[in-house]
Every structure is written in structure tokens, then in C-alpha cells.
Amino acid sequence: MPYVNIKITREGATPDQKAELISGVTRLLQNVLGKNPQTTVVVIDEVDTDNWGIGGETVTVRRKRGQ
Amino acid sequence: MPYVNIKITREGATPDQKAELISGVTRLLQNVLGKNPQTTVVVIDEVDTDNWGIGGETVTVRRKRGQ
Amino acid sequence: MPYVNIKITREGATPDQKAELISGVTRLLQNVLGKNPQTTVVVIDEVDTDNWGIGGETVTVRRKRGQ
Amino acid sequence: MPYVNIKITREGATPDQKAELISGVTRLLQNVLGKNPQTTVVVIDEVDTDNWGIGGETVTVRRKRGQ
Amino acid sequence: MPYVNIKITREGATPDQKAELISGVTRLLQNVLGKNPQTTVVVIDEVDTDNWGIGGETVTVRRKRGQ
Amino acid sequence: MPYVNIKITREGATPDQKAELISGVTRLLQNVLGKNPQTTVVVIDEVDTDNWGIGGETVTVRRKRGQ
């Protein structure tokens, strides 16, 4: 019954990688807390780099500097 | 003043259906808790089936199996 | 499979009222979009009035003015 | 280390305006609570006006009425 | 830089179990997407069973029935 | 109409500091995007240090090390 929301920048995660995140986090909740995987919900949000800030600036600006 | 976030898979909900969710949940909060509808905010997120997991797998995979 | 998050101020909603919100929003999603109620998840967050702001001020301050 | 999520309607905010929101809120958390800007994360979600409701109706409908 | 929010019912997860969720999901994002663990943020919300609904009813009610 | 959610660790923010965050972020959205402060909603979540992770470990553990 857990609900997990994963937010990452939109920078090319593939369907396979997203499926791996979903299965991995579902298994983690089962292993650590005994949560039923059948009702574990995982939602991945991919966010444009213009819309993600860290250190007071956008990821777009950081990527241009090579960070 | 309540804030409601509804997350559904992106599978063709129409503007009319989304308007119906917004009016319905606003009315529910008014009826049950007496909340002022004028300041009730509702945000609907439509999520790609590749980005939604349940039971450890993506909805894309489940839909292919007919679920 | 939808996920709904309802945020309200912590001002005495009873367990019965919260149960009514949960059943009401689940039924709404079934009626409007045909969503399976068995996998619809609803999470209610009750937020202290010191931690909720509208119009640039906290709800605590507004309540003191009788709003 | 704070995490801030800003949700606005998708109505033409420019990259510069979004960068200004990110730097402004990061500075606010530093000034008010002494939070380290290097680990402050800000995520901006732009939401279609069909998917945003207030007063029981969508912003799309309100905009048509000139609100 | 990812942000992960894990919501579970408040039913006795220990600090050690929560630490294990945090390290596990951080490692998962590093392994699958190469994300830097130093800036991966994980927030766990523990929600009262009165405030969590599935199948149109609260978890409190389900637990009483032995589910 | 914007909605802002600020998550910080629960480490003694005062009501005055929280009021300052609310007024500050509301003003920021007015200045940058012309948003109406009357309908800007801000919700502050204070999260236990056991429930907040960064760098793969809890803030509780980091605080013990003096970070």
C-alpha cells in the first residue's frame, strides 16, 4: 500500500531504466517493511532542467557549465 | 482552502471528465467538512503509463497483458 | 490505481469525516473515469494552521481575525 | 537541504522567470532559516489550465470568462 | 539530485528500517541512472491509518477486519 | 492561485519564521509572475530528522557527526 514518488530531471531515462526503478523500490519496501508489492504504487516524474533548481540555479545552467 | 492532488495515468481523460473531477471533489469537501469552494484548489497530474508502477511493474506492461 | 492526496488544515476533522472523504473521492473516480476502487489510494494530510498560508499569511493569523 | 515544490499554471513562464523563482526561494530559506543554498532543491511544476481547478471549475473556463 | 518521497502508514517502522529505505533507494538511483548519492534527497512520510484509504475505506477499518 | 510546498527538517522553526517563509514566497510569486497573493497557497511540512535522508543516510546520523 505504500506510495512512492520519484522525481528526476528529464535527461533521457529509458523505459527499461524506469521499470527497473519501479521494481527495485517495490522490492525494497517488501524486504525492509514487509509491504505487499501488489498494492505498492510508484510514480516517476521527469522534470525539465529549466524547472529544477539546486544551489539557487537551474540544472540547465549547471549542465552548461559541465556540472 | 484545501488542496487536492489527483494523479491518474495519461489514458485519454477528456477536459469534461477532468472538470467533473474538479467540481466533484470540491463539492465533497464542502459537504463533508464545510470547506469554502472558492479557495479549494485541485490539481490533476496525468502520468505516462511508463512512469506509473504497481505490483512492481509499469502500467505499460500491464496494459499489454490486458490488465 | 489513482492516487489522491487531500491536504486540509488540522482543525478537528473526525475519523468518520475522513472516511467519508476517502469513500467519496474513490467513488468519484470510479463514476467519472471508471477507475477500479480496489486500487485507488487516498492520503489525507492534516496541516497545522501555523504551517498553512494563504494570502501571504498563516491560517492561525486569519482565524484570530475571525476568518 | 530543504525541498520546495512550486506549482503554477502553464501560461508562459519564461526560463528567466523560473530561474528567478528558484534563486529567490533558495535565498529566502537561507535568510529566514539559515538553510544551506547548495543543497536546497526547488522543483517547478507547470500544470495545464484544464488540469487546475479553483472554485470548483477549471482555470480554462475561468480564463474564458476573463478571470 | 533526485527527490524521492515514500509514504507509508504509521505502523511502527523503526529508525533502522527507515535508514535502510533511505540508503536502499539512494543506491538504486545510483545503480540504475548514475545519480550522485550526495545530492539525492529522500523524505519518508508516515501517515495515520485513519488518514490512508484504499478500496474506498480507511486502513484502520481494514486492519480491524484483519487485512 | 499557485501552490507551494516547502519541506524542511523539524528542527525548531518558529511560528514567526514560518510566517516569514509564507509571506516571502507569496510576494516572490507576485513579483516574478504577477500571481494574485490572495489565492496563493503555501504549505510547510516539517519532517523528523529520522525521516529525511541525504547522501544515503538520515539527517539524524549526520547531525550526530556535527553536519
DSSP label of A65: T
Instruction: Judge whether residue D1 has pLDDT over 90.
Output: no
B43 and chain F: CB distance < 8 Å anywhere?
Answer: yes
Residues of chain F with pLDDT under 50: none
Residue-range definition of the domain harbouring residue F24: 3-64
Kind of pairing between the strands at C52-54 and F41-47 = antiparallel
What pLDDT, on a 0 to 100 scale, did the predictor assign at position F1? 83
Q: Could you say which of C28, C54, C59 has the minimum Cβ distance to residue B21?
A: C28
C41–E53: do the CB atoms touch at under 8 Å?
yes
Query: So which residues of D are the catalytic ones?
Result: 2
Catalytic residue among A2, A18, A21, A52: A2
Q: B2 an active-site residue?
A: yes
- The values of phi and psi at residue A39, to 5°, are -115, 15
Q: Could you say which of F4, F52, F59 has the minimum Cβ distance to residue D6?
A: F4
3-state DSSP helix/strand/coil percent for chain F, to nearest 5? 45, 30, 25
Q: Are F22 and C53 in contact (CB under 8 A)?
A: yes
- Assign residue F53 the CATH number of its domain: 3.30.429.10
Which whole-number Å values give the CA distances from D40 to B1, D23, E9, E16, F57, in the listed order? Answer: 27, 10, 27, 25, 17
D14 pLDDT band (50/70/90 cuts)?
A: very high
Closest listed residue to residue A53, CA positions, set D38, D36, F4, F56: D38
Predicted confidence (pLDDT) per residue in A15-34, tens digit: 999 999 999 999 999 999 99
Instruction: Judge whether residue D10 has pLDDT over 90.
Output: yes
SS3 A58: strand
C67 pLDDT band (50/70/90 cuts)?
A: confident
Look at chain B and report how many structural domains it folds into: 1
Predicted confidence (pLDDT) per residue in D19-39, tens digit: 999 999 999 999 999 999 999
Predicted confidence (pLDDT) per residue in E43-52, tens digit: 999 999 999 9
Question: What is the Cα–Cα distance from B60 to B66, expressed in whole angstroms?
Answer: 10
Question: In angstroms, what separates the C-alpha of A39 from chain C's closest C-alpha?
Answer: 7
What pLDDT, on a 0 to 100 scale, did the predictor assign at position D44? 98
